[in-house]
Structure 1
Amino acid sequence: MDGTWEDLVGSALLGTERRRPSGVVGDAQEAAVGLLDAAAVGVVRRRAGLRPGVAGPRPRAAAPDPRPPLPGSARRRLEMMLTGGGRNRQGTAPNLLELLPQWLATARARGYAAPPALLPALLDVARARTDLRADALAFAGPRALWLAELNPEWKFALRSGGGAVGARTAAGDAAAAGRLWEEGLFAERVALLTRLRQTDPSGARELLASTWRSERAEDRLMFMDALRTGLSPADEPFLESSLADRSRNVRSTAAELLSALPSSALAGRMAARARSCVSLGPDGITVEAPYACDAAMERDGVAAKPPGGRGERSWWLGQLVEAAPLSTWPERFGGRTPEQIVALPVLDDWQPDLHAAWCRATVRQRDAAWARALLGTPSARGGPVAAIGDPAKLLAILPADERACWVSEFVAAHGLPEAFQMLGVCAVPWSAPLGRAVVDALDIARDGGSYPWSFSGVMGLAERCLDPGSAEQVALLSAAAEEPPNGSPGASAYWSEAFQRLTATLRLRALMSEELEAP
């Protein structure tokens, strides 16, 4: 065999009928066999010709992890989840992968260390699923960062977990913080800034200001967003100066943050503009939306060009009202409460625009009184969805107990079709009244003859969010029921299977929590 390795590769790609390497003879079949023989010889020759590499320095030792190891049963459960056990849901079997985020959060909260042998699988899962990355890396601990230094596929852990570790270390040392800010990776700098905003907001702002002019526009935007943590009137001069930033996105974010400070000069300017557009007449609220967007409005964060299908005047009005302090309106409307203001009629079809802007202002300013007024009574006919779109952001402002109570009443009055996003902002595990309302609504849907996959999203939430103590209540519904007269064919059997799976999942969650208890 005289052909080179490149000659063999070329023949394999083109086929021996079109190109035969030198030394290969015979018909097409014999030539193909000869090519494979020659390739086998060539592989041996190439491997035999390799010279051994020079040994590099040994990697440094991994940092110790002082946390206690997992109990044996919990370790086996984690191994099953990470290696594919329960990956495919069949029949009534729970989906273990869907429970992995909750398991990781619990293990992290209870202070356990991850088993070293499972760290590679844990890093692979964290790379694939950003929703559990924070808990996975915190649970994996310092040894996972040590592994990430040795494998390029896990470098995300250095940007995420490494940044957080470095930030915690540097936050209490001004010199170390300065070095990390000047020399660190972008993720480390963001983590440091966020960490400092929790402990020393002014120091964090001064650190940011020291390099602000030399930062890239996209980095300035991320740093500006980090100022949401610990936002206070002391940040106003820096934010006000940022209204002249070269980047439109940075200017817009600075304006948004200033509008969240009711005492800021920008909030005062926006309140004056909003008052000039909205007033109270004898028949209700009258609206005179702006006819132009001047340069001063643009500097204060008003986007001049509306999105497709939106009128200019309503677009400008919404931005002015959204950025005005909510305290503007009781003063404007004779001392009325938020509930009384929301109940006022709005003339000339401006109500959807005005109420939507008040909703956005409420979310921005985290005002619970306005959130209650805009949400209204959960049992009211039609509910709030048609009036304000997605009420989940307003609900998130309320205390957890009040939020769960409101959603449980909404579900009892209107069922589940409009409640999915609301359920997603309720604290886990769901309170007993909310859990009962959801299970009862599912039972009503079954009695109505619907197929269970119409409620698959709610079922998935219930598997993760229902209190495991609800398992016996759900188990009562798992028995096959008679088909309703006008129901979908076979729906009852599908519902029975869905309730059996929900029951099995709740029982498994209870068992997993017991496994994570200290022995």
Structure 2
Amino acid sequence: MTSSITTPATHSSPIPHTGSAAAHGTDSSGPETSGPGTSGPAWDGPGWDDLLTTALLGTERRAVPARPRPGQDAAGALLDAAALRTVRRRAALLPAPARARPGAAPRDDRPALPEAARRRLALLLADRAAPGGGGRRGGAPDLTELLPQWLATANGHGYRVPEALLPALLEAARARSDLRPAALALGGPRALWLARLNPQWKYALRGGTASGFPGAAAPARSPEDEGRVWQEGLFAERVAVLAAVRRRDPDAGRELLASTWAKEPAEDRLMLLDSLRAELSAGDETFLEQALSDRSRNVRATAAELLTALPGSALTARMAERARACVALDRTADGGARVVVEAPHECDSGMQRDGVVAKPPAARGERSWWLSQLVEAAPLAIWCERLGVGGAAEAVALPVADGWQPDLHAAWCRAAARQGDAEWSRALLGPATSPPAPANSSWLDPARLLSALPPAERAGWVAEFVAAHGLSEAFRLLGVCSVPWAEPLGAAVVDALDAARRAGGYPWSFSGVMGLAERCLDPAQADRLAALTTVPEGPADGAAAGAAGYWVEAFQRLIGTLRLRAAMSAELAGQEADAVVTGP
């Protein structure tokens, strides 16, 4: 009997010889040996050349180099061996013993996404992976910029990600680090379970990036289990355990951290120390004082920052004493008053231990650098008494001698932002209608000061600023306002965009603001914006006429994005989205 097997040379669909097989120690003629990543014995089956020769000569003239199954003839055994070899050649992999199956994924009892929201997430993730996805496409919304907001809203509802979409979500977060906290929160414990099986997702195992979102808390554990995870677990699991213990008992959490502090790597010490921020209390002062002597400069700086956030800590008292020695009130001959400054002449070891960095940045004087750090770390409450004034506004209004005002006020700005002091922030900001600080004026940072104000007051101040000065100087200020933008801020931005359109400007001159508006405007503004998509009638100069079409396209994209955001919110709330939505 002669085998009828067809050889690769004559088959209409030849078996490809994958080049990657060579990388695994294989060739097309002889048996392969175990390659990298295999742990089993070398392949002892027939080589491809042996099978090919037998097929050409026929099974009656050459013995089949494979053992037939019971009741199987020689031709069938040859075909089986060729089929097995073909699969191996196409896969370009060596056979190896099967690994142990991974343990079952942990339970996640959070509610599943509504079906419409599940479809929306699949589309957002698919758009991210599509060639050219996420770019500007005429009037279509930029879906990649909507994914962070979708994740934040889904976490706010306490949903879990569908299992089938978890790999795509982890891959999206691998490509964009800004997505990781929200993505891992939505993925929950199953995201960490799956990340252990794919080295490309190891970012999920390095930190407590899922904290701060509903549903991201670590599962309840017994004290014995918490101790085991703290000693043996992955870093993300250890951070979750520390956070859980701190929420339950801040002192116990601090003691847990202290038990292994000496043997933690510097990078881990920094991240673990920062985790104390959420439940910071006076009981942490002793531990933080010890951390001021850490061999890592970043750890020392973080410890000093946390101590300055503790009212009445020994470090704030030391910084206040140093700052008082540098700043004083001087009565002038005409009965007025001014602030005089005597910056430190050296940065001694005590200052450095308390977090003062000795070496200044380029183009910065040493004395002004040291002064700024002392004043920034000192409690703002000391200055009214020191300068003999009744409040922050009076202190800020005082003239400062010898050109020290920029350094002193810049330090006060940073102190107001760090300490969350709204009174000092208002005084340093001044009226929103005042001329903005010159571009080369680095001492005033309105965006940082605004962060200390309540959200409604912050939005009102920025709305006044936009109405008075337009959008050119407003980008960073808009970025610190709560989303969605409250009125009258949303109306002020729309009015400013309309004014820029009527003035003949081009929308790409305001691309940053337009991008923020897509993510931050209240979707209720969509109807008002629709009126701006019509080209004004009547004669127009060349610039305005040329820009009109671009503005129509930009506003259409903005309207489509706002309506899509409204639909996404409705879907996540389990409601029926508006039937007319631009976008997928």
Q: Which residue of 1 aligns with 2:455?
A: 400
CA contact (8 A) 1:163 1:188 kept: no
CA contact (8 A) 1:93 1:501 kept: yes
- 2:550 is aligned, of 471, 494, 498, to 494
Q: Which residue of 2 aligns with 1:390?
A: 445
- 2:399 is aligned, of 345, 355, 359, to 345
- 1:69 is aligned, of 112, 136, 141, to 112
CA deviation vs aligned residue, 1:104-138 (integer Å, no higher than 9, x gap):
22222223343332222222112112212222222
Mean CA deviation greater in 61-70 or 123-132: 61-70
| Residues in 1 aligned to 2:401 and 2:209: alpha-carbon distance in whole angstroms | 56
AA partner of residue 94 (structure 1): P
The answer on 1:216 being equivalent to 2:271 is: no
Q: Which residue of 2 aligns with 1:233?
A: 282
Cα displacement (A) at 1:99 = 0.9
Change (3 A) 1:58 1:290: closer
Change (3 A) 1:155 1:396: same
Q: Which residue of 2 aligns with 1:267?
A: 316
| Residues in 2 aligned to 1:230 and 1:100: alpha-carbon distance in whole angstroms | 30
Query: Which structure has greater helix proportion?
Result: 1
Change (3 A) 1:451 1:162: closer
CA contact (8 A) 1:70 1:516 kept: yes
- 2:416 is aligned, of 362, 371, 374, to 362
Q: Which residue of 1 aligns with 2:78?
A: none
The equivalences for 1:70-109 within 5 A come to 70-84=113-127, 87-109=134-156
| Residues in 1 aligned to 2:109 and 2:353: alpha-carbon distance in whole angstroms | 53
CA deviation vs aligned residue, 1:64-83 (integer Å, no higher than 9, x gap):
44344333332222222111
| Residues in 2 aligned to 1:388 and 1:505: alpha-carbon distance in whole angstroms | 37
AA partner of residue 455 (structure 1): F
Q: Secondary structure at the match of 1:54?
A: coil
CA deviation vs aligned residue, 1:255-281 (integer Å, no higher than 9, x gap):
222222231222112111111111111
Cα displacement (A) at 1:383 = 5.4
The equivalences for 1:30-429 within 5 A come to 47=89, 52-84=95-127, 87-159=134-206, 168-169=218-219, 173-281=222-330, 282=332, 283-382=337-436, 386=441, 388-429=443-484
Change (3 A) 1:314 1:113: closer
TM-score (norm 2): 0.76
AA partner of residue 104 (structure 1): L
| Residues in 2 aligned to 1:389 and 1:166: alpha-carbon distance in whole angstroms | 37
How much identity, in percent, do the aligned residues show?
61
Q: CA RMSD in A?
A: 3.2
CA contact (8 A) 1:166 1:192 kept: no
AA partner of residue 107 (structure 1): A
TM-score (norm 1): 0.85
Change (3 A) 1:122 1:243: closer
Cα displacement (A) at 1:180 = 2.1
| Residues in 1 aligned to 2:209 and 2:394: alpha-carbon distance in whole angstroms | 51
| Residues in 1 aligned to 2:218 and 2:104: alpha-carbon distance in whole angstroms | 21
CA contact (8 A) 1:277 1:290 kept: yes
Change (3 A) 1:339 1:217: same
Q: Secondary structure at the match of 2:346?
A: coil
| Unaligned runs of at least 5 residues, structure 1 | 1-7, 13-20, 22-37
Mean CA deviation greater in 467-476 or 159-168: 159-168
Aligned length: 487
| Residues in 2 aligned to 1:143 and 1:301: alpha-carbon distance in whole angstroms | 40
Q: Which residue of 2 aligns with 1:15?
A: none
Cα displacement (A) at 1:159 = 4.0
Q: Secondary structure at the match of 2:340?
A: strand
